[in-house]
Structure 1
Amino acid sequence: MNIKTITIGILAATLTVGGYLVKEKFSKTQSVYTPRSITNGGVRGNAGYAEYLLMLKADPATGKIDYNMVNQVRNEVMARSKQNNKAALGLNWTQMGPDNVGGRTRAILVDRFVANRVYAGSIAGGLFVSNDGASTWNPINSLEGCMGENLAISCITQTSNGRIFFGTGSEFESPFGTGGSGFVGNGLYEYVPSTGSVLPVLTNPTAVPNNSTSVQLSFVNAIASKGNRLYLATKDGMVWADPDGSGFYPTVFSGWTNPIEVISGIPETTTCKDIDIASDGSMLVCFSGKVYTSLSDGLGTFTSSGHSGSRVSGAIAPSNPNVYYLLRSQGSLKGIEISLDKGNTWNVIVPAGSPCVDPFMQNDCTGAQGGYDDAIAVDPSDWGHILVGGVQLYEWRYASGSNPIGGSWLKAANLFESSMNPYYVHADKHTIVWPTASTIYIGSDGGVAKSSDGATTWQERNLGYNVTTFYDAQCAANGWFLGGAQDNGCQLFSYQSFGEPSPKGTTEISGGDGFDVAFSNQGPGIAYTTSQFGYVARFAGGGGGTFYDPELEALVAAGQPFHTVIENWESNNDVTSVDSINVVFSAPDTLVGGQTYEYTSLSNGSPLFYTPSSTIYVTTGDTIKVQDYIQNRFALATSAGVYLTRDAARLNAINPEWNRITTSAVGAIYCMEFSADGNHLFIGSNNGIRRISGLNLANDSLGLDIRSGSSVLTISLPSTVSGVVTGIASDPNNIDNLIITVGGYTNSSHIYKCTNATGAMTLTQIQGTGATALPKMPVYDAEIDYNNNNKVIIGTEWGVWTTSNAFTGGTTQWTDESCNGMTHVPVFAVEQQHLRSNHSVNSGYVYLGTHGRGFYMSGDLFTAIDENENNITNNSFVSNLSVYPNPLNSAGTIAFDLKESSPTKIKIYNLTGSLVKTIDLGTKAKGNHKIKFDASSLSVGSYLISLESGAERKVAKFIVTR
């Protein structure tokens, strides 16, 4: 195509929107993406998180999670898995990290018999093992695939004969009184290292009475062992059992013994919180508001004493079995106590309300959450030296001879997040394991931390520990992807472009509790992140920050819902755009008909093209109005309604304009989705689903803001469902098709389709029937395949499920798609790259954001790239780095330009993130370079090539064909 740029003879290019001059709104600066931690200063608290999980999983009629329903679904899923039915789409998954972040960990065990072997259990990602003292981790493979039950591991122990047992489910995930934990367990299991097997020991019965909503083994708060006897802290008290002559433990709850009595003949059946056993066999067992002590564990031997606090935890000194400690909380600290005589008498060493020591408080002394994060441990070599963890980590040392008993307190770690900070331990400590005087392990919301010098310094130990809990995942055209994670901010996967320590490592580009995320392909490296309470940041250039207007900034500062919901839409060829650009000529000129001329978009100076149908003769002062067809829309849900900006991707917009497009009457919003043409925004809430239409008709506040009196938008009445709308998928090829997902463990339908989304919005349930029906579990997100709308992928509480007949009109059939490469982990986000192969390196690839096992990716829906689609260097993610010919066969040339002389390497990755080739070029001089390389060892397929030279990292794509 013969293209000319409109520059000669032009006096000025005046940018107009809706007839109003907005030139002063823009600067000429443009940026390139660089990660930098941005936080809103908000605390990372558990209350909002627990309430949000409860909303996703509870029965809306009761506000509680039906544990019986959970058990029924678990049994159905596992029964379906045993049938070995062929999956509808046959997707193969690759785990994509992050393998350097970790996630919530409540259980750590140091093997007593195998040197350097450590186990860690996460609340949703299952069991992991390390054979090098937590330097690297691997998942237990028997928990993978369709037959793997993804266990919410709460506690772990080892018997005297070396057997490994772990409990599942924890009531501590939820604030007391809110309806139960979002991570429901299924009793007690054994891991057998010699075979790699995980065996059920004591689990909930297959059949539970229909009127039961409280299953006994939905959580095991603690586990301990004495000899080969096992002790469990359950909702019905503490119970113990011995193995029989064949090594088997009782498989029904009634076969276990409850030795604690409130009074003679009346067992203690309230929820047990913690169990501790001394080296001499004496015991300390904790309940809400009281503890029991015993010199053994025989019936009638336990003595109780009152100790206030909704959560009470204990610890016994390994070096002195007479020394007991208690950590009591009711959100904030209720007190820390010590006994030197096995619990007969107690001394308070930190009282309630102490301003100097409260491990459950944030740095600003707010947000106490002792019911959630609570840990205490004693130095095995010094009975007067303890660590106490919650949000913070404190250390206490006994002052010898003090009377009353006292000592000195020291904050043992801080919350400044940096892998270079030797004093950092992630917030929310759940367990402290202290096997030797110098070696300490901590399980927290950030995974595993280790000290090798007795709590002087700390190191994160998460390499391979892929248990991050994501709410969302989105992908970019260059193959990068981004997710918002609970308590781990927003994590960017960039193929080590920013120096991540491992091939599947990520960089945290914003902090807090990360929620919805998005990319823009309309500028260099634009990414959007969120954190709790309405905080939104845009990244591009040397960092990032908010882009609110004053009204929205004040609204966010006043407080917003915990879960921040955003949605982004963009098009590089919006034929309906009403934006225009006035080109003013300062001298006569001729625009020849059929000739293409280049001009500049409002969006970051991107090139636009205009081809007059006939020759135009212009004189001085003439103006031509041309369409700006590069458009974006960005929506943010608030308590006052939904706000929308058309300036999110316009980095040159100094003051982005936001307009309110709904009122608060839409309800509590949990998801949003634009139609493919950008004209409609669908909103999912606790009140059903609504549609905002007419977004293509306006480009200013008069037409968009519902308060203007002249808004062109229309808001539909809600289409209701039974439950909270958790996800909406719009057909990329037919704006009338939607898939709607619904949360909750209920007998209602959890998935619907709509074939008239721009009209009356009639919803039809597609749960299915019989053996191919979708189990009645929470469904969190959906994606309609960009080539075949009958193919639908959904994220559920029990992994990924798919259908190949979503819109055929027949009964929808669902199959478990979690068999190959992943497991039955909660999947909160499903995202497919809809850009075609000439505009992205990952066309058709599907990405999952799981709540417990990080990211997964599948390329099985990728559409083969036509060899004519080789104009890759026009893509925005390529920056003076190119490969040719492209596609290539067995050899190619890499062309690039260096800004300065520096050591240079070329790394080639496949699209699963594996490094397949490294070319060390040594030190290259400043300027242009062309390097030939051998590709004969590369298999047919698509590859990413990364240029690393000094501080520069650039990425391009190439294809190998044969």
Structure 2
Amino acid sequence: MNFKTIIAGSLAVGLVIGGTLIKVTKESSKDAVYTPRATSVQGQDDYAAYMKMLKADPATGEIDPALVAQVMNDISARGKQTSKAALGMNWIQMGPDNVGGRCRAILVDKNNSNIVYAGSVTGGLYVSTDGSGTWTRVSGHLGTQGDNLSVSCITQTANGRIFFGTGSTFNEDQQGEMGSGARGNGVYEYVPATGDVVPVLIQTANAPQWVNNTQVANVNAVAARGNRLYIGSMDGLIYADPDGSGNYPSSFSSWTNPIKITSSLFETGTVNDIDIASDGSMVVCFSNKFYVMPDDNVTLYNTTNGLNNRSASRLQASIAPSNPNVIYMVGCNSSGNMTNLEISVDKGQNFSVIVPGGAPSVDPMRRSATETTGQGRYDMAIACDPSDWGHILVGGIRLFEWKYNPGSSPIGGSWLEAATIFGQGAFNPYYVHADKHTIVWPSASTIYIGSDGGVNRSTDGAQTWQQRNLGFNVTTFYDVACAANGWFIGGAQDNGNQLFAFQAFGEPSPLGTTEIVNTDPNITFGDGFDVAVSNIAQTVYATAQNAALIRTNSAAGGNFYDADMLDNYINNSQPWHTVIRLWETTNDPLSMDSVKIIVDSVYGAVIAPGDTVFPGDTIQVGDTIHYTSLTNGFSLQHIVTNPIILANPKDSFLIQDPIQSRFVLRMADGVYMTKDATRLNAGTFQWHKIYASNNAYNFEFSPDGNHLFIGTGDGKVVRISGLAMYNDSNSLDVGGANYALTVTTIATGLGGGSIVGLAIDPNDADNMIATAGGYSTNPHVYRCTNATTATGSTGNFVSIKGSGATAFPNMPAYDAMIDYQNKDKVIIASEWGVWSTDNAFSASATSVDWADESGNGMAHVPVHGIVQQHLWSDAAINSGWVYLGTHGQGFFASSTLATSIEENDDFADLTDNNFVSNLHVYPNPMNNKGMVEFNLKANANTTVNIFNLNGKLVKTVSLGMLAKGQHKESINVSSLSIGTYIMSLNAGNDKSIAKFIVTR
């Protein structure tokens, strides 16, 4: 496939604390292009609140494990059915293969150092056979049978078997639901020979232990000693040995808890960490205590002098591989700040503080010396050099290195920042992405780090680092948008805005992306959110948290606010989730913009090459006037339909400028709109506050751009009408003297909570799908058939959950798409992959059937964004392609619904002026709506296709199954441009045709 290019081009400070030399390097602020995820009140808290909003039951404000369990069981049961998916979507993984994403676990195979495993928080298990050079998803985590993709920890037994735990309590809540992670479901085995993922100790999804968040609902740690498997459960440490067949117990009660507090009381807290030494000794960490097993027997050593208790919220330990007497311990408090870094040289009987907590500048859990809180509860990692017991790495947001100073008393050493979190990129050998979750040190020179940016490796003992994410496609996207040249862009948590451009910017990998960089010092970028693409301006629009917005036609750009909006952005607390939407067209019959052509007696006016008119001349009907659009100086032509008589001695006339766009952005005080977003030639930008509430979770424009629909956080759908009718601030601004826009609430109480997804039929703006978040028994998918004409807030939307075995599960539905050729084909982006129907509008509400489309190249990964290319194949090389922005496995694309012009043979010979119409269409010409009258010889599934005179299918109307006899059906043509069209009515094997005209 050939792709046309549409988008252009591509201080050292030393001090001694407790015998430790501390050195801190100061980074240049101009290189700071990454913002860690919790550096302010509107950081981690807003992130957690947003994810909770998406997933919580709106009735309680909490995520109900019982409802989650119900969905898991429902989906599992459907996966065992043999029914085909409604649309049969085939998915292609489209990277990014150079970015990575949240990695919580890494394991290097003990028998072959080239084999490396990595686990993602929602993307599943990946394996590399070339020392992390390339990665592949394990086949057991593909398709609809993938049981749990939230990998938190990995271990290997003496006989080489691979086991991994799922779920983590180190996200924003104990359920693992409020962050980008997901709830776990126990421990699994990966079988390399077959690629299978096999349950070992899992919890039945409706079991009380799972619902009550106990036992192995989330597993923070797994470890092995010989073939004995240890699991860090939510009810303490447990272990088991395999039976004669190699099987481990499948019930929790058959595993042994070895930690006794008294003769009859066991330690049943949630395990944070397990580390097993070369001699079989072990340390087990809980949130504020730890236990040491000094040898390889079952009894664990518990000191009686209180040395094993810590004032901490999380603890993690590392035993020196070369000296099992040496144990390092690091912890954090409830604010996420490091408490102390400690060392024991006597197997945990005594500990010494080697780096005390409290100093922000030397706290790896904090981003910088100015931060008051850290993230140790979320990101913490520690590992010891296998060849040197006095050399360790500690990770949080930042990465620090401690080296023992031989002979020091008290014991001490140097404490250095070992990498930077700024100036990111493949060519910066000192960069490691912020938020480190695991450090694996298999040899003196080789180190692996798993972070929110994927996998990094050092081959020189932490002197330099390389990103190792080729194929580790686990980026967590919130949104996706596509361009007519096949490019697409997504906004990602922790990884900014990633543009896929088929290596046009020199990306080194086949599925690599380029991050859109903010160059504006007034704007703070970090997490990516909503995105958009303009085919007219060849421009992408990228956002970050708190209403940060830039545009660019390369890989870097700045804001396009006006002065008041910039002041608003800087001085007000903006919503964490940045919401935008772009509408554009090259042929807007409703355009209020005009180009003024001045004709004077000296120079006249050149209306076409070689054709100059002067005052007193007449421009005749049929003449072509060449003129320039207000948008980027594009050349336009206008065919005169009425004579233009020019007066003397000077005259002027206006010609409509059909190139139009509208762009909306949510800010702290409401919704703003500009018509200048695609005008790269605009010297200033004019924004209008068209809506005075920031309760806007997503936007959707009608195909003609006259209506804006808003999904709100309290279950409403609001329509703002008249956007095409006005240009002036008095009419468009809510504070204007003559505010003229019509604001209508057309739905209330949908889903009982937030409307997080809207989709409009590109052929008929009255048809709309609305989706709701939250695990709840409320409906999650609704349809509307009068979106542009509804006058009230009731009776317009109806749930199309369906019923029985094909009903839509009670899970969060994040986004929706209506197919550009057939409104009955609807795809929903959900917490559990993508789901589709082929009778969304033709079937009764209770008869709509939903099918799981998460197989055929994909998995049950959360999908937050879905978009289809609605431009036809004469305007886009990817016409009909569907793109997904998943929250854990990057981008996916599908051509299943794509149709080229060559496939539309219905219009053959219909443009012949001699053809005879056998279909009654009236009025003719028609304006926005018309009627089609026909007689059916038999009951038939009936469809109307409308073609332009170039043979392009421009609209499809599915009338559904109609009975034999006479029919009159209304056809909405408001989205069609002025011109002549062919209508083809298909009923079973019969076809009727008519030619009609659209005028305004």
TM-score by length of 2: 0.81
1:534/1:43 CA distance change after superposition, 3 Å: farther
2:192 paired with 1:193:
yes
- Deviation, 1:597, is 1.3
Change (3 A) 1:41 1:282: closer
SS in 1 for 2:140: helix
Residue matched to 1:693: 721
Query: For residue 420 of structure 1, what is the amino acid of its counterpart?
Result: F
Per the alignment, residue 280 of structure 2 pairs with 281
The equivalent residue for 1:726 is 756
Deviation at 1:180, TM superposition (A): 5.5
- Contact 1:125 1:150 (8 Å CA) reproduced: no
Q: CA deviation at 1:612?
A: 1.8
Mapping 1:876-895, distance limit 5 Å: none
- Give per-residue Cα distances to partners, 1:341-361, cap 9 Å, x unaligned: 111111111212124311111
- In the alignment, structure 2 segments of 5+ residues that lack a partner are 1-5, 11-29, 39-43, 518-524, 605-613, 906-1000
Q: Which residue of 1 aligns with 2:469?
A: 462
Letter in 1 for 2:377: G
**Which residue of the partner structure matches residue 439 of structure 2?**
432
* 2:800 alignment partner in structure 1: 766
**8 A Cα contact 1:175 1:371, kept in partner:** no
Corresponding residue for 2:361? 356
CA, structure 1 residues 528+434, in 2 after alignment: closer, same or farther (shift >3 Å)? same
530, 533, 554: which one aligns with 1:519:
533
2:8 aligned to which of 33, 40, 49: 33
- Aligned-partner Cα distance in 1 for 2:105–2:704: 48
Match in the other structure for 1:892: none
Distance change >3 Å, CA 746–CA 402, structure 1 → 2: same
SS at match of 2:691: coil
Other-structure match for 2:227: 228
**Post-superposition offset of 1:739:** 0.7
Q: Is 1:606 aligned to 2:634, yes or no?
A: yes
Partner of 2:782: 752
Q: Is 1:626 aligned to 2:626, yes or no?
A: no
**Matched residue, 1:841:** 877
Of 637, 645, 654, the match for 1:617: 645
Partners of 1:433 and 1:441 within 8 A in 2: yes
3-state DSSP of counterpart to 1:172: coil
Classify the secondary structure of the residue corresponding to 2:889: coil
1:807-956 to structure 2, matched below 5 A, reads: 807-810=841-844, 811-866=847-902
1:316 is matched with which residue? 319
SS at match of 2:766: coil
What pairs up with 1:795-806 in 2 under 5 angstroms?
A: 795-806=829-840
- Report the alpha carbon displacement of residue 69 of structure 1 after superposing the two structures with TM: 2.4
Determine the C-alpha separation between the residues in 1 that align with 2:326 and 2:299. Answer: 23
Q: Which runs of 5+ in 1 are unaligned?
A: 1-30, 870-962
- Residues 210 and 217 in structure 2, CA contact (< 8 A), matched pair in contact too: no
Structure 1 distance, partners of 2:369, 2:679, is 36
Question: Contact 2:123–2:861 at 8 Å: present in 1 too?
Answer: yes
1:775 matched to 2:809? The reply is: yes
Instruction: Report the equivalent of 1:249.
Output: 248
Measure the CA separation in 2 of the matches of 1:542 and 1:188: 42
Counterparts in 2 of 1:733 and 1:191: CA distance versus 1, 3 Å: same
SS in 1 for 2:565: helix
Q: How well do the aligned residues superpose, as a CA RMSD in angstroms? A: 2.1
Q: Distance in 1 between matches of 2:492 and 2:73?
A: 29
> Does the CA-based 8 Å contact 1:742-1:779 persist in structure 2?
yes
For 1:738, give the aligned amino acid: M
Corresponding position of 1:81? 79
Indicate the SS of the match to 1:538: strand
Letter in 1 for 2:276: I
1:460 CA drift (Å)? 0.4
Contact kept in structure 2, 1:175 and 1:372, CA below 8 Å? no
Provide, for residues 735-763 of structure 1, a one-character-per-residue CA deviation record: whole Å limited to 9, x for no partner: 11111111111122111111221213522
Deviations 1:109-150 (A, max 9, x none): 000012411001111111111111001111111211122235
Q: Alpha-carbon deviation of 1:41?
A: 6.8
Alpha-carbon shift at residue 193 of structure 1 (Å): 0.9
Where 2:827 maps in the other structure, the secondary structure is strand
> Among 586, 591, 599, which residue is 1:585 paired with?
599
Three-state SS of the structure 2 residue aligned to 1:325 is: strand
- Aligned to 2:51, the other structure's residue is in SS state helix
Q: Which residue of 2 aligns with 1:674?
A: 701
Q: For 1:167, what is the secondary structure of its paired residue?
A: strand
**Deviation (angstroms), 1:158:** 0.2
The runs of at least 4 aligned residues of structure 1 exceeding 6 Å deviation read: 37-41, 176-179
- What is the SS of the residue equivalent to 1:157? strand
1:563 counterpart = 2:538: no
**Which residue does 1:409 correspond to in 2?**
415
Asked if the contact 1:719–1:763 (Cα under 8 Å) also holds between the matched residues in 2, the reply is: no
* In structure 1, C-alpha distance between the alignment counterparts of 2:686 and 2:590, rounded to whole Å: 20
* Alpha carbons of structure 1 residues 210 and 578: separation in structure 2 relative to 1, 3 Å: farther
1:373 CA displacement = 0.9
Report if aligned partners of 2:673, 2:689 keep a CA contact under 8 Å in 1. yes
8 Å contact from structure 1 (residues 149, 823) kept in 2: no
Q: CA offset at residue 531 of structure 1? A: 0.9
State yes or no: 1:44 paired with 2:37: yes
1:369 maps to which residue?
375
The counterpart of 1:553, out of the listed 530, 550, 566, is 566
Once the 2 structures are TM-superposed, how far is the Cα of residue 326 of structure 1 from its aligned partner?
A: 1.1
Alignment partners' CA distance in 1, 2:555 and 2:580: 23
Higher mean C-alpha deviation, range 790-799 or range 344-353: 344-353
Task: Give the whole-Å Cα distance in 2 for the aligned partners of 1:672 and 1:210.
Answer: 40
Q: Which moved more, 1:203-212 or 1:589-598?
A: 203-212
Q: Deviation at 1:423?
A: 0.6
Cα pair distance change 1:635/1:301, threshold 3 Å:
same
Q: Identify the residue that residue 543 of structure 2 maps to in structure 1.
A: 530
Name the structure 2 match of 1:266. 265
The CA distance in 2 between the partners of 1:82 and 1:176, in whole Å, is 31
- CA apart distance, 1:615: 3.0
Q: Which SS does the other structure have where 2:77 is aligned?
A: helix
1:205 Cα deviation after fit? 1.4
Q: Provide, for residues 858-880 of structure 1, a one-character-per-residue CA deviation record: whole Å limited to 9, x for no partner.
A: 111112224999xxxxxxxxxxx
Q: 1:178 to 1:250 in 2, by over 3 A?
A: closer
CA distance in structure 2 between the partners assigned to 1:591 and 1:160 by the alignment: 90
How far apart are residue 213 of structure 1 and its match? 4.4
Contact 1:34 1:543 survives alignment (8 Å)? no
**What CA deviation, in whole Å up to 9, does each residue of 1:796-815 have, x standing for no partner?**
11111100010114211000
> Which residue of 726, 730, 738 maps to 2:768?
738
Provide Cα deviations, 1:245-270, integer angstroms capped at 9, x if missing partner. 21111111111222223433222222
Q: 1:134: which partner in 2?
A: 132
How far 1:386 sits from its partner (Å)?
Answer: 0.5
Task: Read off the aligned partner of 2:714 and give its amino acid letter.
Answer: N
Contact 1:635-1:643 within 8 A present in 2 as well = yes
Distance 2:215 2:581 in 1: 41
Structure 2 counterpart of 1:572, one-letter code: T
Give % identity: 54
Task: Compute the displacement of 1:640 (Å).
Answer: 1.1
1:336 and 1:351 in contact (8 A); partners too? yes
- What count of residue pairs does the alignment treat as equivalent? 835
Judged with a 3 Å threshold, the aligned counterparts in structure 2 of structure 1 residues 161 and 541 are, in CA distance, closer, same or farther, namely closer
Match of 1:660 among 685, 689, 693: 689
Deviation at 1:67, TM superposition (A): 2.5
Q: What amino acid maps onto 2:626 in structure 1?
A: E
Contact 1:51 1:178 in 2 (8 A): no
Contact 2:364 2:399 survives alignment (8 Å): yes
Match in the other structure for 1:485? 492
**1:232 Cα deviation from its structure 2 partner:** 1.4
User: Deviation at 1:43?
Assistant: 4.1
Distance between the aligned counterparts of 2:208 and 2:643, measured in 1? 82
The Cα shift of 1:503 comes to 1.7
Structure 1 contact 171–180 (Cα < 8 Å) conserved: no
**Paired residue type of 1:798:** W
Give TM-score, length-normalised by structure 1: 0.84
Q: Shift of the alpha carbon at 1:206?
A: 4.5
Please state whether the residue corresponding to 1:75 is helix, strand or coil: helix
Q: Return closer, same or farther for 1:436/1:39 CA change in 2, 3 Å cut-off.
A: closer
